[in-house]
Structure 1
Amino acid sequence: MISEHLVTLKKIGILGGTFDPPHLGHLKLAMHFAKLLHLDTLLLIPSGEPWQKSSGITPAEIRLELTEAACADLARALLYLKIPTQIGVDRIEIDRAGPSYAIDTAKALRDRFGPQVNLTWLMGADSFINLPSWRSWDQLLGLVNFAVVSRPNHELSTQISPEIKALLEKHQCIDANAIEKSLFGRIYLDNSLSVDLSSTELRNQLKSASREEIAFKQIPAHALEIITNLGLYK
């Protein structure tokens, strides 16, 4: 019989987003937390109907295809770095009718994987700052942990709201090991990596004369091939 304290929790990371397009910032964040949190699995979840975005986004099935292509590069990078995290793309939000709310996805994933799995939602500081605008945001930590990476121009100490300050006082952990051992309910702020790229800014940059150079530097190779073939973001 194996002692309960020797049983290793299965750790699943969740990286949601519009992925319009997926870029190297997404991959940097994914690789960083895959290694730091010793994730067994990392799921990238393209939004179906992103309620906080404009109506001019790329169709969901194309964004799904781009995300799957980017994940091929991500999986290759993890293999090279000898990080054993398994990568998957989940179409849960694309298949669910209506606006894509994180709370609905978190509930569905908790139901799918069960109560004894560590679920950690990965995000940038910009998303974390805007958390109070999310639907039922105050219920999320009853289902998942948060792992937050810093973003330039999104300084938590100056932009933090009273709601987020109270959330941190109750749930923040300083040590990454603490979030590994928690099924849900902890927040880890990571300042060792800064991701300075957004899909919105990238789409605007791709309309410039330097499109090809920017795309080559910022978009994973397999996703860029699809973008080129379909003539996207011009």
Structure 2
Amino acid sequence: MTRPTRIAMLGGTFDPVHNGHLRSAVELRDALGLDTVHMIPAPHPPLRDTPQVSPHQRLALLETAIADTPGLKADARELAREGPSYSIDTLCSLRDEYGEQARLVMTIGWDAFLRLDQWRAPEQLFDVAHLVVVARPGHEEAPSSSLLELLGDREVDSVSRLMAEPHGRLLHVTLPSAMAISATHIRQWLGEGKSIRYLVPEAVENAILREGLYQRWQSAY
């Protein structure tokens, strides 16, 4: 019997994409046995500040970063959407693309998880996909009562139990590397003319410097 396709949505501003994003995507691919991780830049995230560079510039950096990495895909589907980008719309688009039996996963970090009950149509997310929450060391804030009510008894304790169904479950995972890289700090350092070497792939660093992104002045590396 053929194993159902396993797909993940990894959304974010990627402002800019850095090695922490990329390492997390690879580790999620391996931990969940995913066929493809769709890394999807959000043009105008509803609960985040407006990114400093254009959506298409961020997409281009993401494509440069991923290059030919197996199982990772830079996905532009949200950039064609007018107005705010909502995860439920993107998940429905992926579900339509891969079919009803595909194992579709939305992966988010702990901070975003704590705000899940503030998202657009959060109760519908589980009708379309599973939710995988990536733990962040040192973050122990408890979920709100409204979030716990939303989650109900959906949590499972293993990948095999998660993948037994196409959607509807919750799994918490801890990734091996837990790289603490901040896009905010990268933008700040670029604006101050400081080096971001080894925080982003070399090709991404070269593209940022070549195009003058995030910089008030050029620095000598």
Q: Residues of 1 paired with 2:32 and 2:15: CA distance?
A: 26
Q: Residues of 1 paired with 2:8 and 2:54: CA distance?
A: 25
Greater helix share, structure number: 1
2:34 is the alignment partner of 1:39: yes
**Equivalent position of 1:3 in the other structure:** none
Matches within 5 A, 1:151-170: 151-155=136-140, 158-170=141-153
Does the 8 Å CA contact 1:12/1:117 hold for their aligned counterparts?
yes
Aligned residues, how many? 214
**Equivalent position of 1:145 in the other structure:** 130
Does the 8 Å CA contact 2:191/2:214 hold for their aligned counterparts?
yes
> Over residues 34-87 of structure 1, what are the superposed CA-to-partner deviations in whole Å (9 max), with x where a residue is unaligned?
0011111111111122222223521011011011011117x1xxxxxxxxx522
Find 2:198's aligned residue among 217, 220, 227: 217
Distance 1:192 1:108, change over 3 A: closer
Does the 8 Å CA contact 1:151/1:196 hold for their aligned counterparts?
no
Q: Residues of 2 paired with 1:177 and 1:129: CA distance?
A: 25
2:9 is the alignment partner of 1:24: no
The residue type equivalent to 1:113 in the other structure is Y
**Equivalent position of 1:200 in the other structure:** 184
Does the 8 Å CA contact 1:118/1:183 hold for their aligned counterparts?
yes
Q: Residues of 1 paired with 2:166 and 2:118: CA distance?
A: 24
Q: Residues of 1 paired with 2:209 and 2:20: CA distance?
A: 20
Q: CA deviation at 1:141?
A: 1.1
Gaps of 5+ in 2: 216-221
> Over residues 77-117 of structure 1, what are the superposed CA-to-partner deviations in whole Å (9 max), with x where a residue is unaligned?
xxxxxxxx522111110011111111111111111221111
Moved more, 47-56 or 59-68: 47-56
Q: CA deviation at 1:164?
A: 2.5
Matches within 5 A, 1:56-205: 56-72=51-67, 75=69, 85-155=70-140, 158-193=141-176, 194-205=178-189
2:204 is the alignment partner of 1:229: no
Does the 8 Å CA contact 1:103/1:139 hold for their aligned counterparts?
yes
Distance 1:198 1:164, change over 3 A: farther
> Over residues 186-234 of structure 1, what are the superposed CA-to-partner deviations in whole Å (9 max), with x where a residue is unaligned?
111013443423323432243346x21xx11211222112111111122
Runs of 4+ in structure 1 off by over 6 angstroms are: none
How does the TM-score come out when normalised to structure 1?
0.84
Gaps of 5+ in 1: 1-5, 76-84
Identity of aligned residues (%): 33
Q: What secondary structure sits across from 1:31 in the alignment?
A: helix
> Over residues 133-154 of structure 1, what are the superposed CA-to-partner deviations in whole Å (9 max), with x where a residue is unaligned?
2111221111111111112443
